[in-house]
Amino acid sequence: MTRVQDVDSFLEEYSSRTLLRFTTVGSVDDGKSTLIGRLLHETKNIFTDQLASLQGASKMNVGGAPIDYALVTDGLKAEREQGITIDVAYRYFSTPKRNFIIADTPGHVQYTRNMATGASTANVAIILIDAANGVLTQTRRHSFIASLLGIPRLLICVNKMDLVDYSQDAFDAIVEDYTNFATRLGIVDLKFIPISALAGDNVVKPSPKMPWHEGGSVLNYLETVYVGSDRNLVDFRFPVQYVIRPDANFRGFAGQIASGRIRKGEPVMILPSRRRSTVKSIVTFDGELEEAYPSQSVTITLEDEVDISRGDMIVRPNNVPMVEDHFEAMVVWMDETTMDTKRRYVIKLGTQEARVTVHQLRYCVDVDTLSRGESEGLELNEIGRVAFRSTKPLFFDAYRLNRLTGCFVLIDDATNATVAAGMIIQRNPSEELSTAEAAGKERNIHVHAGKVSGAERETRLGQRGLTFWFTGLSGSGKSTIAAAFERYLFDEGFLPYRLDGDNLRVGLNADLGFSRYDRRENIRRVSHVSKLFNDSGVVVLASLISPFIDERQAAREAVGTDRFVEVHVHAPLEVCEERDPKGLYKKARKGEIENFTGVTDEYEAPTNPQLSLDTSVLTVEQCVARLADEFDQRRNP
């Protein structure tokens, strides 16, 4: 076999090994860096020149040991001078069974932010406890952060067993103490191993000095622990990082699969536009794939021409993340400037970017006691639960369900400094914030009832307040039919009022654009205005595209189900384009209008409207006649 073949076979074998990411945490001087140094040394993952350098540096240290293993990761000058870990140190090593990425994190309280950063992607957290000192405040602090970060399993290494004469009683007492604490955090996957990192006991091989321990060594655990279940293979999430367009015949969307699997030919949905398509191909540098998995970097092409850009996400139509403009998260504050609840920060969530404001700081956590307290703003290294509101809807999952699509960072746009990291909570944020806002309003707003009831108004007018909600594509005939129906009702002696989507954007909703958030707010305002008109006995004819089912349902709930009449005005898309009374379709086809319903944005047709009017078949007069029949059945107060 040639040397080239040897290299190729080695690389193939190396790449086929599974990868384990782990972090070491614990109190100061518990031996985290020493443990990592011992692991690297005894698995022969330290180069000869590095070893010589370490032996030379170790002569200056007290103790006379041939190698100070802590120096392997304590690379900063300040770390070596003080004998502590300050920054996160990453090391890579491998054994014949597995590849590893280690994050050696600081133990000091003032470096909590560094510890959180290093532990955020770990499959396993190794928590070291000094056998002579037992479970300390910092041990509890780091365990809480590990649980907060969703690290699925903890390996508790009771270190410095040589200082307690390898006593099983001392080990058992620590196991009992820590287990009682861990149950309060909901941590269940615990493994305890007694070790001496300095002497090498139970680090790579089982130690004869502790025959009472039958749980194996640290390395044995790291090589055999199953981490395949950590990958979320159910919820397909593909944040788009870049659009690849080398020529007119290829348009692909590049990124890394955050979770889930995808196959050629499967249907997908694009967020936030909600347009649907089918996977045409999955392209990599080495060729096309039939199927792709989490952490693979691929380029996906679609069967349809869909407008997609960086920050969008490709998902499955029946498995979508939360799409909200407000949410709650546990936040680790990382900046020396106190969190300002009155200013905006830039949020980066995957490939998405927006601005957020702090809606409410729910509480600050005392990580020493796990108690909650009130706070005006988070300080450096503090952790709290925060409710945010963003300038546009974001799509995300709860952090515990998907660590990649459930975490974010906050950035101060004035200094460009990262000020916080957050983990989104499994909640219904809309309901939570709505409840909080309602509670605040109840304290400060008092509704004054008038002396004329709605029933009296309806009796005086001889009609019942109703809302006819006309929904459909642009060019379907909504406004034309609504105007004709308004004329009919007025001529018959009734009092109607027409609320047209475009007309409202000139005045009441002039401050709104056409983003998903703005369109939702447009519909919300119209629905509440409709309710006010209905309360006065007036019949409202609201004509809006209102493309999504959930938005129309929200309008129905605001107006009142018994007063809301959903009218689906429809025609084939080509017919609507032929009419194109405002020239909007032509502009959308040229790319001059973004998020245009029917072209670059989706329309969700009503599943069970009160009236369905096909304007490619029915005349305006026939549509008005059907509306009149519906009105006659509902008009009496």
Q: In 3-state terms, what secondary structure has residue 247? A: strand
Q: Is 314 exposed, middle or buried (0-12, 13-18, 19+ CB in 10 A)?
A: buried
**What pLDDT, in 10s, does the model give residues 432-471?**
444 444 444 444 556 677 788 888 888 888 899 999 999 9
**What pLDDT, in 10s, does the model give residues 16-43?**
678 888 888 877 677 777 888 888 878 8
Contacts of 488 (CB under 8 A, 6+ apart): 624, 627, 628
- What DSSP state is assigned to residue 45? -
Q: Tell me the C-alpha distance between 18 and 58, whole Å.
A: 34
Measuring CA to CA, which residue among 208, 206, 156 is closest to residue 177?
156
**Equal fold, 3-230 vs 454-634:** yes
Q: How confident is the model at residue 63 (pLDDT cuts 50, 70, 90)?
A: very low
Predicted pLDDT at 15: 58
Which run of H or E residues covers position 299? strand 297-302
Q: Tell me the C-alpha distance between 9 and 2, whole Å.
A: 11
Range 237-315 has CATH code 2.40.30.10: yes
**What pLDDT, in 10s, does the model give residues 290-320?**
999 888 999 999 998 888 888 899 999 888 8
In the predicted model, what is the mean pLDDT of residues 57-83? 48
Q: In 3-state terms, what secondary structure has residue 51? A: helix
In the predicted model, what is the mean pLDDT of residues 397-403? 85
CA R_g for the chain: 32
In the predicted model, what is the mean pLDDT of residues 185-214? 90
Angle (CA) 126-159-103 rounded to 5° is 30
Q: Provide DSSP, 570-618.
A: E--HHHHHHH-TTSHHHHHHTT-SSS-BTTTB-----SS-SEEEETTTS
Q: How far is CA 340 from CA 305, 358, 379, 506, in A?
A: 43, 8, 10, 35
Q: In 3-state terms, what secondary structure has residue 316? A: strand
Amino acid identity for residue 276 in this structure: R
| β-pairing verdict for 237-239 and 467-471 | unpaired
CB 558 within 8 A of CB 527: yes
Domain 3-230 CATH (choose: 3.40.50.300, 1.10.3720.10, 3.10.20.30, 3.30.70.1520): 3.40.50.300
Which CATH fold would you assign to the domain 454-634? Answer: Rossmann fold (3.40.50)
Task: Say how many residues make up the chain.
Answer: 637
| β-pairing verdict for 250-256 and 242-247 | antiparallel
CB 478 within 8 A of CB 612: no
Which CATH fold would you assign to the domain 322-434? Answer: Elongation Factor Tu (Ef-tu); domain 3 (2.40.30)
Tokens 């004509």 sit at which residue?
Answer: 543
**What pLDDT, in 10s, does the model give residues 537-559?**
999 999 999 988 888 998 999 99
Q: Provide DSSP, 499-562.
A: EEHHHHTTTTTTT--SSHHHHHHHHHHHHHHHHHHHHTTPEEEEE-----HHHHHHHHHHH-GG
Tokens of 536: 């006065």
Burial 249-259 (b: 16+ CB within 10 A, else e): eebbbbbbbbb
Strands (E), 339-458: 344-349, 352-366, 371-373, 383-396, 407-412, 417-424
Q: Could you state, in order of their start, the residue ranges of all structural domains in the chain? A: 3-230, 237-315, 322-434, 454-634
